[in-house]
Amino acid sequence: MDKSKKSKTIRYLHDMKPVLYDKRWVKSAPNFELYYMYRGVKRKRELRYDITVIPARMLGKEFVRTKGNRNSRKYQELYTVIEGKAIFLMQKTQTGKIDIIEDIVAVEAKKGETVIFLPKYAAITINPTKEELKIANWVSEKNKNIYRELEKMKGAGYFYTKSGWIKNKNYKKIPKLRFEKPLKKVPKNLDFLK
């Protein structure tokens, strides 16, 4: 592994302000470290392998999660849970109308299980437990993360809170949340991610 190419990024609470559910809580909360992204841990044929570590905690009423993004162009991404349990939330909005969600799906995955983030879907990862979550992902080196849509809509279509799933009222249309099962193992050929 070439350590010079590997980078650690820390996501702080205040980076998440625009997309959090509990606006009252975040106003007075200190700007603590929320989760850690290690990008380029390894590389293989135009693909980058990253690791994200999300310590357990509550963000007011909401379970800790990633900021969320959509991949550029039609790039897919493959996530595997290394430790803990995750909920991967993915949503697709109508072309040109980011306030109308066409499809929204949640996948609960535990250690060893894998989820594929679909093209044109924005996605977030939630840690719904009292234990640290560690996930790994493979993604194209050419991909660019797009954050502005979720920032503009103040989060994804649903927030996962102590009271369960709560709709984000900033969207004009949100379909009923679908639940899907994860893959039991990583596909042998990852060329579809390119």
The answer as to whether 191 is a domain residue is no
Residue 139's closest CA among 44, 61, 69?
A: 44
Provide the pLDDT for residue 7.
84
In the chain, the number of structural domains is 1
Helix, strand, coil shares of the chain as percentages rounded to 5?
10, 50, 40
Q: How far apart are CA 53 and CA 39, in angstroms?
A: 11
- What CATH number has the domain bearing residue 123? 2.60.120.10
Q: Does residue 124 form part of some domain?
A: yes
Q: Between β-strands 58-59 and 62-63, what pairing exists: parallel, antiparallel or unpaired?
A: antiparallel
What pLDDT does residue 81 have? 98
β-sheet bridge partners, residue 105:
90, 178
Per-residue confidence (pLDDT) for residue 5, from 0 to 100: 55
Q: Could you tell me if residue 12 is inside a domain?
A: yes
Residue 45 lies in a domain: yes
Inside any domain, residue 192? no
The structure's pTM equals: 0.95
Query: Residue 146's domain spans which residues?
Result: 3-186
Residue 193 lies in a domain: no
Q: What six digits make up the tokens of 139?
A: 């993604």
Please give the backbone phi and psi of residue 2, each rounded to the nearest 5 degrees, phi first.
-90, 100
Q: Which residues in the chain show pLDDT less than 50?
A: 1-4
| Structure letter (DSSP) for residue 64 | P
Task: Report DSSP state, residue 141.
Answer: T
Q: What CA–CA distance (Å, rounded) separates 17 from 71?
A: 21
